A and B are shown apart, each in its own frame.
Chain A
């Protein structure tokens, strides 16, 4: 056992030397995570805000202005001025300059006060369906609140008229109370998409790094022929696998700590869970990713092939992980893919640790799934790798 360990340390030393000397490698190790964090931290946001809205008020009454004011003062809609006709509005929506168009007809207030129904036309750009459905809900909330308040005022007025016309000693009619909905968002109160995306970035980065580093370093040795030199030595395939995977796992761990620190202290993403549990889960996850790297190295002859194959695996893994699109809203066939996708389980664990503050007690099924998938992947890849040395 002592001999075995010292052989692996020689490997680890060599891999670190080679990693640190390669300029491109240094870029990937440190620049790539930072760029991804900046992108998702600042540039990408799925929060539905800054909605450009144009309106045409043909009524120009107190009530119509009040309705419009509810939109423009909500903080979500931005007034896009200068639209003179519905046709122009249509053109601006086509070119993406506005997303919402509000059209109030002449006679709006008159109709309402006289007891008829007044309609208001709202056009919404449905191209981005997720965004549009959120806009629809904003609009519904605002118009319903507006209607409700209006009716409430009318009822109060009517009631005071009834009460003041009452005989002395009679019962006063009370104003009916309503159901007040008190909303509280657990775990991510600001509904900030940054909090939703950034913790997962850490998982994606170690996934990318371990797969890429493991597969490329092995393929490079195959390209230069140095792997023949290793194959004829008394080193066992297990020692070789350990030597080729441990260095990159270590680097990934360092990256995890750095990125988590950045996310928590710079981007102010909450971290409510246990850091030790995060490390353990990361370690189990890395078993899966380094196995994939090993596997890729057995099917690639050149380093370019290795990178392309890696993306072939990586893209579906990310799509079917719940990173951007929730797994539960996917069709059953897609959910099957997610079921065997280690990234999915790690994403759930990360979000659980960062945002919900839960630990092993809740997340043990995820951790178990990771362990099982990791073991299978490792066994298959290690066998293939051993054969490839012959």
Chain B
């Protein structure tokens, strides 16, 4: 049985279709990513899964509870960590945890046990009476995660969980997530960061309320119908101007000192075509290499192809 499943889920606000007929299933213990631009419908989908918003049409369940009729049961069963960390700056660490435990109905000895576990996980130690405002952001992040799992939910929703956090803290954080995943918790992550999306077992690409693709990160990259090349040349900015004007090229972007070029996979011999055009324009010392596509390439082409329902 799936941990979370939705079918034909739609949400319309007035005239605006925020979520358009999406369907997916998530296994228990899976780390499932939502990747998409702002306003794509990620937050709205999550709100429906958390039991905060009623769908306009469609159906779904989270942890076995119907998202339309059993919202209170869903809320007791899911944990949520918001982008802003949702901690009270003017309360201490332990006051925050006591409050959250309280509203989930955990009391007394059970609450103390769970709080100790969270404090250990977040490596807060003696700082439990410190005001949250004074904590460094890495510890706040772990504390926020701790608050979300206080009631031992089976499903976790993490909304941009590592925004503003340095790479080392991020790595520590993901180790915690992997641990939860292996314990059988299903984890939803929404993110803009491509490297973060790489941590997920599967990713759903959401654009303008619709799902463009669902696959593992490598699956998405492999099924991309574009080839990616990297171009090294002197005076690359001038070269970029020329190349981005070409019709045969789908997409060109500057990566540091190189140019990344996306071409349709069925295009014949793009390296030579590009080289010829550059030589004609007086460039020399040109190196073109085919590289593996990144998730960013996948993301960008999906965003551009949003008018086409299928692009893979």
Name A residues whose Cβ lies closer than 8 Å to a Cβ of B: 3, 6-7, 9-11, 13-14, 17-18, 21-22, 224-226, 228-236, 389-390
Complex CA–CA separation, A386 to B53 (angstroms): 11
Query: Which DSSP category, helix, strand, loop or mixed, fits chain B's interface?
Result: loop
Whether the Cβ atoms of B102 and A10 lie closer than 8 Å is yes
Whether the Cβ atoms of A228 and B82 lie closer than 8 Å is yes
Residues in chain B near residue A3, CB distance under 8 A: 105
Tally B residues with Cβ within 8 Å of A: 32
B60 at interface, CB cutoff 8 A: no
B91 at interface, CB cutoff 8 A: yes
Residues in chain A near residue B157, CB distance under 8 A: 232
Complex CA–CA separation, A133 to B75 (angstroms): 67
CB distance from A11 to the nearest CB of B (A): 8
Listed A/B pairs (11) with beta-carbon separation below 8 Å: A6-B107, A11-B99, A14-B91, A18-B91, A224-B88, A228-B86, A229-B82, A229-B100, A232-B52, A233-B75, A233-B104
Whether the Cβ atoms of B76 and A234 lie closer than 8 Å is yes
B273 at interface, CB cutoff 8 A: no
B171 at interface, CB cutoff 8 A: no
Of the residues A18, A225, A235, contact of B86 by C-beta under 8 Å: A225
CB distance from A42 to the nearest CB of B (A): 36
Residues in chain A near residue B84, CB distance under 8 A: 224-225, 228
B189 at interface, CB cutoff 8 A: no
B50 at interface, CB cutoff 8 A: yes
Known contacts A17-B91, A225-B86; decide if A6 and B52 are in contact (CB<8 Å). Answer: no
Which single residue of chain A is at the shortest CB-CB distance from B91? A17
Residues in chain B near residue A225, CB distance under 8 A: 82-86
Known contacts A10-B103, A231-B52, A232-B50; decide if A226 and B87 are in contact (CB<8 Å). Answer: yes
| Residue among A3, A230, A231 facing the most chain B CB atoms (10 A cut-off) | A231
Of the residues A6, A229, A231, contact of B147 by C-beta under 8 Å: A229
CB distance from A194 to the nearest CB of B (A): 39
CB distance from B205 to the nearest CB of A (A): 25
CB distance from B46 to the nearest CB of A (A): 9
B175 at interface, CB cutoff 8 A: no
| Residue among B76, B99, B103, B107 facing the most chain A CB atoms (10 A cut-off) | B103
Q: Mark B93-129, 1 if CB is under 8 A from A, else 0.
A: 0010011101111010000000000000000000000
Known contacts A10-B102, A18-B91, A390-B52; decide if A229 and B75 are in contact (CB<8 Å). Answer: no
Complex CA–CA separation, A231 to B47 (angstroms): 10
Residues in chain B near residue A389, CB distance under 8 A: 52
Residues in chain B near residue A13, CB distance under 8 A: 99
The 4 A-B residue pairs with the shortest CB-CB distance in the complex, in nearest-first order: A10-B102, A225-B84, A229-B86, A232-B80
Of the residues A21, A230, A390, contact of B103 by C-beta under 8 Å: A230
Complex CA–CA separation, A17 to B89 (angstroms): 12
Complex CA–CA separation, A325 to B214 (angstroms): 69
Which single residue of chain B is at the shortest CB-CB distance from A22? B90
Residues in chain A near residue B87, CB distance under 8 A: 226
CB distance from B96 to the nearest CB of A (A): 9
